[in-house]
Amino acid sequence: MTEMLSERIIQMEESATLAMAKKARELKSQGIDIISLSLGEPDFKTPKHIQEAAKNAIDEGKYFAYPPVAGYQDLREAIAKKLREENHIAEAKAENIVVSTGAKHSIANVFMCLLNEGDEVVIFSPYWVSYAEIIKLAGGVPVLIEGDLENNFKATAQQLASALTDKTKAIIYSSPCNPTGSVFSKEELEAIAEVVKKRENLFVIADEIYELINFTGNHASIGSFPGMFDRTITVNGFSKGYAMTGWRVGYICAPLFIAKACEKMQGQFTSGGTGIAQRAALAAISGDQSPSKEMEKAYLKRRDLVLQLIQEIPGFKTHVPEGAFYFFPEVSHFFGKSVDGFQIKNADDFCLYILEKANVSLVTGEAFGAPNCVRISYAASEEELIEAIKRIKEACARIQ
Ligand code: PMP
Ligand code: GLU
């Protein structure tokens, strides 16, 4: 009966990150000792003061009804204040903020509101799996510009300029980047902003969800640059920096006409995000930031640990990620080789082999637009990471 489904869902790829996480969960439930390095999800618990805020919100009994579609006013104000003070987006006001059910939902709102059939969106590749599928769902056409390993996988302003056509409506990148962990410097973003400003009606979707996991100490928001507020939709959320993936709160800061459109879209699709989760988000953004700093420190320590360990695996080529919690090594050295009668043709086969023989789940680079790579999430304990990389190293040594 699947032919009864809409073309749009038949054409859509399943999220590779979530699919791999599901597979790992299933194998675990069969009693297999899987170490899951596939899902980009903090392994920390949501900080206590945020949990407490949610408990208090329940006890107060005031947040059980439908929240305003664009989010509670005090949360929108707190987000706008943070964007003004920390991200230097001087024009950000509560009216520019729309709170949604996770940043994924925010991105979906934006593309559904911006794109007409055939509009092109330039994606800085490697890119997060969901961008291309959401763009296609909204009728758009993804156009990839690819960063090389030599430039830490960062595509450049020049590449952007050559990818623009009459149909380009928007560009999207994440910085710090999922899947590469690379961070755009202020200068790199300024060069990108110059290209954007030369064109009318071109918008930037700046996905800053990993803002709080950035080892360079410098986070630049393109929406803060002169003339860029009206061109930028800044996307952020609470999942990564506050270890709140399951609470489902994300937001955009956008020019008013886009914010209003997203509110209208959300009003028909989902209504406002969960009230209790929004109260928790308010505590996160306006309360003690030290738990986030501690988590960032722990990720940096793990980054250094994993870097040292994977540099010891012959055939792995990696850059040094500067943020988020991913490594994105090139593993094409193993393609065309065999093990136990099984030929490894590509990154999908490599991940399958590592899952079955090393019991470690990774995600194929194919899903992120980089078919020679695999993604390793190091949001796991040091013990798990050491054991996982040891298993990967042993399994790789058997490939001939
Ligand atoms: N953008 C990027 C780059 C991500 O890695 C994620 C993680 N899921 C999201 C957006 C969406 O985050 P969430 O919906 O959990 O807020
Ligand atoms: N963003 C995370 C990842 O890339 C979570 C899973 C998802 O939503 O795709 O693994």
Burial 231-264 (b: 16+ CB within 10 A, else e): bbbbbbbbbbbbbbbebbbbbbbbbeebbbbbbe
To test the pocket of ligand 1, the residue of 107, 240, 274, 363 to mutate (highest count of ligand atoms within 8 Å of its CB) is: 240
40: Cβ below 6 Å to ligand 1? yes
350: Cβ below 6 Å to ligand 1? no
Q: How does pLDDT run across 241-276, given as a tens digit for each residue?
A: 999 999 999 999 999 999 999 999 999 999 999 999
Q: Which pLDDT belongs to residue 372?
A: 97
Q: How does pLDDT run across 89-138, given as a tens digit for each residue?
A: 999 999 999 999 999 999 999 999 999 999 999 999 999 999 999 999 99
In 3D space, the residue among 330, 391, 335, 321 whose CA is nearest the CA of residue 359 turns out to be 391
Residues with CB under 6 A from ligand 2: 15, 17-18, 39-41, 104, 128-130, 178
Query: Sign of torsion, CA 22 25 31 32?
Result: positive
To test the pocket of ligand 1, the residue of 17, 79, 104 to mutate (highest count of ligand atoms within 8 Å of its CB) is: 104
Nearest ligand (C-alpha, residue 377):
2
Is the per-residue pLDDT at 18 higher than 90? no
178: Cβ below 6 Å to ligand 1? yes
Identify the CATH number of the domain defined by range 2-45+291-397: 3.90.1150.10
pTM of structure: 0.96
Is the per-residue pLDDT at 229 higher than 90? yes
Domain residue ranges in the chain: 2-45+291-397, 63-286
The Cα 155–Cα 11 span in angstroms is 28
Q: How far, in Å, from the CA of 306 to the mean position of ligand 2?
A: 20
The Cα 288–Cα 348 span in angstroms is 42
Fold of the 63-286 domain: Aspartate Aminotransferase; domain 2 (3.40.640)
Please provide residue 374's backbone torsions phi and psi, each rounded to the nearest 5 degrees.
-130, 155
Q: Which pLDDT belongs to residue 9?
A: 94
Q: How far, in Å, from the CA of 38 to the mean position of ligand 2?
A: 9
Taking the CA of residue 128 as reference, the ligand 2 atom at the shortest distance is 4
Asked if 297 and 44 touch (Cβ cutoff 8 Å), the reply is: no
The Cα 315–Cα 98 span in angstroms is 45
